[in-house]
Every structure is written in C-alpha cells, then in structure tokens.
Amino acid sequence: MPGLLLDHPTPDFDGLVRILQGDTSPNRVPIVEIAIDHEVLRAIQESLLGKPSAMPRGVYWPSVPDSQYYQELIDIYYRLGYDFVPLCPLWNNNPPGKIIQVPDTAEASRGLREWVDESGALIRSWEDFERYPWDQIHAAPETLEMASNYLPEGMKVTVSASLFENVIEAVLGFKGLFFLMRADPQLVEAVFNNCGQLVYKYYQSAVECDVVGAIFHADDFGFRTSTMISPGDLRRLLFPWLAKYATLAHEHGKPFWIHSCGNLYRNSPSVMDDLIDLVKIDGFHSFQDVILPVGEVKERYGNRIALMGGADIDKLATLPEDELRGYLRSILEACMPGGRFAFGSGNSIANYIPLKNFAILLDEARCFQL
C-alpha cells in the first residue's frame, strides 16, 4: 500500500522519551504501538516488501528464538516509522493455560481465534502450588541478543510481560481467583508473589541491556465499567509488584510505561491515581472511547503522566475514510499541544483493522501540523 512504509526513517527513541517526559516540545507526532498482530505484519512483509514472512500464525510469539523473525519484526517497525519495537519474553517451561478456539472471521484471518477458558486453572490448591515448576520457568535470553543484531541506529526495544493477566487467565483462572480470594487468600497472595518474582527476574535481566529502552508492562486488570477485582485488592496484590518494576526501571534511567484495558477512572482516588502516585508510572497506554476518550484523559492527567495511543480500535476498524481522518485529527488536536503524548491505536493493530485504515492513522500522524 503506497505511503505506508517510509524509505528513509530516522528513529529517535531518546527523542521520544524527552517528548513523553515533557522535557522538550514535540517537533513531530511520535507513534507507538504495544502490538501489531502477526497477520498485519505478514501482509506488510509479503505484499509491500515482497519477501517471504517468518511471522507465526496467531498472536503468540515464536515457540523458540528465531533470528529471521526478529530481523523481519524490527525491519517492519523501522519502515513504519516507529522508534521502538515491543518485545515479549519467551517463557521456557511455563505450563500453558487452557484455551477455547473458534473460527477467526477477520479479513486477515489466523484460522482460529483463541480465548481463555474462564473455568480453567493450573493451581487449585496448595498441592498444585507446590508441584508448580516455579524454579524451572525463565525467559529465553536469546531474544534480546538477537534483537540487538538488527536494530538500526536510534531505535530501541521495549520489554513487556504480564502479572495479573497470567494469574487470572492461566494460573488461578477467573473463577479460581474469585473463589480463592475468599476461601484461601494466603494461596492467592503466594501465587501473585511467585508470579511477580518471575516477571521481576525477567525485567531485572532485560533492563540492564543497552538495547532495552523502557519497560512497557502489559496487564489488563479492568473492563468497561470497573476493575476485575476491587481497587483495595489491586493495591494489596498487584501494585506493590508494579511499583518494584517501576523502581527497577528508574534505577537504570529508563521509563516504566503500563498498558491496561478497563475503566480505571472511577472514584477518588481512582486506580489511575494509584498508578501515578503509588506505582510511579511514567506513561499510560490503552484507551476506549466508551470508557473515557483519550482527550478527556489528557485533560485530567496530561500534566502528570505521558499518554500513548488513543485511537479507539472499533472506530479504527469501521469508520469510512473521511470520518476516520476527522476522528484521528481531533485526537491529535486535543492531545498534541504541550507534548507528553504519542499517537497510535487505543489498544493494538488487530488483524481485523483494515490495512488501509492503519495507513490512514500513520498518514494523519505524519501530516499533522504542530
């Protein structure tokens, strides 16, 4: 698709950080994504670059480190104009959670779309907890080594892992977490602490690498109207670990950003206030217009943290071009003044977002007059 890829990109991750921190006035509209679905990347590689693709099917990362995959991944993000490439760890010896599969009806279909089995759980008792292979689970170090071989000058990677999502989706399961929080809260706390420590050890090894520019933690702990567990339980079980990750990043002179879907704005102080004041996040990602449009979040919190993304993916997937351009431009007009903002989707570039609409988002960012 003409205009999607740049011939001579000039990535500047350090410049992006200065804009997000409010240290400099923006001289461009920086763009960010925490994820672009592999089907989208595959389409770009095969249709626009004319090369065979190493992208795996589905949202999951390769099961083993693959240098061709990282070379392709980095090259596409580079040609699209991003300053960093988001990377997730490959967890060795990590027991898989239970999933449900249904046909994927997206235009760029992956064949089967997968959902978490809400009744599934890997740990249901202290006996399961003791048998769990805690000491054997670790992130493959080769991923960052491979990425460092292909990064252009000025570009970095960010590292993303999950704690709450892993617990609620796989380790304890939705139902298991909710029941055990009342039946055996000590077991729940032990699971959070062990899972939290695994993520900490990964971040600890990653943040020391020059190739890593930031920790971009990914943990959905909300839905349309509220958080999945009470704010008090989040403060007790999750936020101390998030604060440790933030401190770790800051000790190495790097930002700590977080992605979380859901309504984090209810009550005062809100969960968002906690993330800013207790966890000490530097930037927040994930926005949905039916919860709170990014322009309103900017009014409330824009002088306290950086905001990233913003374009509701339902509108990104469905609006006709004229309406979509007007919508995207309205976000830039509301959020770019004063900086501390980077543009992109409100969640991720999913495989059901037309490639043309993705190109429109990038075009609006490139053409916007500051």
User: Residues 314-323: pLDDT tens digits?
Assistant: 999 999 999 9
Coil vs helix vs strand at 134: helix
CA–CA gap between residue 243 and residue 256 (Å, rounded): 10
Cβ neighbors of 283 (< 8 A, separation 6 or more) are 20, 255, 257, 258, 305, 306, 307, 308
pTM of the model: 0.95
DSSP type of residue 53: -
Q: CA triplet 24, 25, 26: central angle to 5 degrees?
A: 110
- Give the model confidence (pLDDT) of 141-170 as tens digits: 888 999 999 999 999 999 999 999 999 999
pLDDT above 70: residue 63: no
- Give the model confidence (pLDDT) of 77-86 as tens digits: 999 999 999 9
> In this structure, which topology does domain 13-34+82-367 adopt according to CATH?
TIM Barrel (3.20.20)
Burial category of 147 from C-beta neighbours within 10 Å (exposed 0-12, middle 13-18, buried 19 and up) = buried
CA–CA gap between residue 369 and residue 337 (Å, rounded): 11
Q: How confident is the model at residue 19 (pLDDT cuts 50, 70, 90)?
A: very high
Contact of 35 with 348, CB cutoff 8 Å: yes
pLDDT score recorded for residue 178: 94
pLDDT above 90: residue 65: no
Burial category of 71 from C-beta neighbours within 10 Å (exposed 0-12, middle 13-18, buried 19 and up) = middle
DSSP percent split of the chain into helix, strand, coil, nearest 5: 45, 15, 40
Residue 21 phi, psi dihedral angles, 5° rounding: -80, -10
Coil vs helix vs strand at 165: helix
- Give the model confidence (pLDDT) of 202-251 as tens digits: 999 999 999 999 999 999 999 999 999 999 999 999 999 999 999 999 99
The CA distances from residue 39 to 35, 82, 237, 241, 350, in Å, are 12, 18, 35, 33, 8
Domain parsing of the chain, residue ranges: 13-34+82-367
